[in-house]
Amino acid sequence: MHNYKKILVAIDFSDYGNLVAKQARYIADTFRAELHVIHVLDNIPMPDTPYGTLIPLDGPSDDLLLQTEKNKFIQICDAVQIIPANRWLIWGVPQEEITRLSLQKKIDLIIVGSHGRHGLAALMGSTAKNVIFHAECDVMTVHLRGDQ
């Protein structure tokens, strides 16, 4: 089996975001791997910012919606003890930013939930499918059921 050194977990803020993050922490600890986390903002408009698409997590934002999303992200990151330098909050299209960051950071395992905001109706969420298709490293899906 591959000895993973750098793991990236992709979280949304659905009911399952915490669960996926916890599972990723467990796997990272098992492999003694570095754990990175990404959330892609695809549902709020991008304000006029000098930062490009990467959002700094230290310091408050003028934009209330952005501040709410930052707080949710920080809460999950803190809960699973991901160090600030490995937290990535980025604007864009989830599957594109997840695969782009995985290449940039030389990630060898991406962890996504099987479902997210698009619900459990589909067999597998569209983000998970697209990441599996486009990633150049291993991808693990945490199987999520309605009773979790």
Q: Which residues bind ligand AMP (CB under 6 A)?
A: 10-12, 16, 20, 38-40, 42, 94, 112-113, 115-118, 125-128
Nearest CA-CA partner of 14 in 131, 144, 132, 135:
144
- Shortest reach from residue 43's CB to ligand AMP, in Å: 8
- Shortest reach from residue 88's CB to ligand AMP, in Å: 9
Sign, Cα dihedral of 112, 114, 119, 125: positive
Nearer to ligand AMP, 6 or 39 (CB): 39
- Shortest reach from residue 34's CB to ligand AMP, in Å: 18
| Residue with smallest beta-carbon separation from ligand AMP | 125
Using CA atoms, how far apart are residues 128 and 53, in angstroms rounded to an integer?
22
